Amino acid sequence: MKKKACGLIFALFVAVFLILPALSLAGGPDPNGANTGTAADITAATAGSPTPAEVANQVGHNKVAINMMWTLITGFLVMFMQAGFAMVETGMTRAKNVAHTMAMNFMIYPLGMLGFYICGFAFMFGGMGAIGTMGGYAGLNHEVSITLFGKTFGLFGGKGFFLTGQSYDVAVFALFLFQMVFMDTTATIPTGAMAERWKYSAFFIYGWFVGTIIYPIYGNWVWGGGWLAMLGQNFHLGHGHVDFAGSSVVHMTGGVIGLVGAWILGPRIGKYNRDGSPNPIPGHNIPMAMIGTFILAFGWFGFNPGSTLAGTDLRIAIVAVNTMLASATGALAATLWMWLVRTKKPDPSMMCNGMLAGLVAITAPCAFVNSVSACIIGLISGVLVVEAAFFIEGVLKIDDPVGAIAVHGVNGAWGVLSLGLFADGTYGDGWNGVAGTVKGLFYGDSSQFIAECVGVLANLVYVGLISLIVFKLIDVVVGLRPSPEVEVDGLDIPEMGLPGYVGIKLDKYSETPLSR
């Protein structure tokens, strides 16, 4: 009896193991994925038997899906750069101000975003036309322009306020998210240049202006179909002012706002002696600054490659590698320049500035240059940022605690100029409506370089002027600086209501240098 029962159970087991493989062919588990995803997944009138037209539709939908996913995910990476900026700035400033510095970098994210949502996006992209990589929807079709010498000069857009009506569209929303995080990058740059002596209420008001007006207008001129982009079509200046991911639109704008703001604010107490020589005010946390720099470098993998707005544009591989190489040569050049030429010490904060300068500079040309050019652009930016920092601090006597003006302003300008030199003609056919690929001076097109110069000048003039007006206005209404007692004691408790570091003894003796 027992033998018969065992035999029966054994036979049952064998039968089950023979049947199981057959089961997997009929909707069972798929451990290697070979059978998952078939014609049955194609949207079709008859499930499992799509017509050629239905297959074509699915392919087109998937292409747009890839592009939209790319845009959104790289946008998420750029959002994380807000944390990077916060850490760099707080690490390079003093412990008595950490809550205040952090709070500026924190609050600029929602302030800038909401301003951009209310009207900034509309001003910048309201007239951009079809969103080609994500389905071609062309609802953003109202550009306010003037006509001079028979040419149209686009000034700003007029569609997309609050993302309502015609802009309640998936492609528009994806574009908005991506462009918003770029705007917030600009918005947070001046908080570094103006740190440690900027009243929080004054900063708060600035936060509304940057996302609504300052950033979007120049942005429209370059990316929204405005007059700088049209320099090619209108005046045969290359492909117009070309800026792939924003050396001028994002970084130079931020740097110029910071320049004007830091100049109007004046230096921190104790920064300069009576004879004009500067005193160093050491940052309180070098590890924080360096981790912040790595976070920024990581986010830049979203910033530059994402600017194709298309995962199907395989130039993204070139863009990503160029970005990476420039960051490395920028860091190297700045470090060696400090170590061998300037101070005989490889200063960590300048290392950070060097990497960031390389990233800022490559942001415009990254899609248009080869890898050797990318390395050279980064190398030059590493030296440039060190010299610019010394010049701004020592000659212009403008106190920039973190080097934001040298990194973003100066190297933002160098970035677009380098595009005008190094663009090698392997990409960019039809850019800004001009036939042919984008070439720089070294590859035969000097007019491209001129277009970049025009863009740099326009940025300096427009951003400089409007920042001047905005900051002067805020100064009159609220006052830009806290009282000297508040500044020397630390902004945290008087301005934010609590110390950023609780229970840590602050070194009040060495934190404010003696002005001789």
Partner 1 sequence: MKMIQAIIRREKLGAVKEALDNLKCPGLMVWEIMGHGKQKGITEQFRGREFRVDLIPKTKIEIVVHDAQVKSLVDAIIKTSSTGQIGDGKIFIIPVEDAIRIRTGEKGEIAVG
Residues of this chain that interact with partner 1 (CB under 8 A) are 278-283, 338, 342-343, 345, 347, 349-350, 386, 389-390, 393, 403, 509-510, 513
Place of tokens 């939908």: 61
User: Is the Cβ of residue 261 or residue 348 nearer to partner 1 in the bound state?
Assistant: 348
Q: Which residues contact 87 (CB under 8 A, 6 or more apart)?
A: 288, 289, 291, 292, 295
332 CB-side CA count, 13 A = 12
User: Is the Cβ of residue 21 or residue 280 nearer to partner 1 in the bound state?
Assistant: 280
User: Is the Cβ of residue 376 or residue 506 nearer to partner 1 in the bound state?
Assistant: 506
Q: How far is the CB of 505 from partner 1 (least distance, A)?
A: 10
User: Is the Cβ of residue 319 or residue 350 nearer to partner 1 in the bound state?
Assistant: 350
User: Is the Cβ of residue 284 or residue 439 nearer to partner 1 in the bound state?
Assistant: 284
User: Is the Cβ of residue 350 or residue 369 nearer to partner 1 in the bound state?
Assistant: 350
Q: How far is the CB of 338 from partner 1 (least distance, A)?
A: 7
User: Is the Cβ of residue 17 or residue 509 nearer to partner 1 in the bound state?
Assistant: 509
Q: How far is the CB of 279 from partner 1 (least distance, A)?
A: 7
How far is the C-alpha of 362 from the C-alpha of 378, rounded, in Å? Answer: 7
Q: How far is the CB of 417 from partner 1 (least distance, A)?
A: 25
How far is the C-alpha of 387 from the C-alpha of 431, rounded, in Å? Answer: 34
CA 468, distance to chain mean position in Å, is 23
Q: How far is the CB of 245 from partner 1 (least distance, A)?
A: 28
Helices and strands, number each (H, E), in the chain:
18, 2
Q: How far is the CB of 278 from partner 1 (least distance, A)?
A: 6
User: Is the Cβ of residue 240 or residue 382 nearer to partner 1 in the bound state?
Assistant: 382
Q: How far is the CB of 343 from partner 1 (least distance, A)?
A: 5
Q: Which residues contact 328 (CB under 8 A, 6 or more apart)?
A: 355, 358, 375, 378
How far is the C-alpha of 289 from the C-alpha of 89, rounded, in Å? Answer: 7
207-238: b (≥16 Cβ within 10 Å) or e: bebbbbbbbbbbbbbbbbbbbbbbbbebbebb
The token pair that represents 238 in the structure block: 């290359």
DSSP 341: I
Q: How far is the CB of 381 from partner 1 (least distance, A)?
A: 17
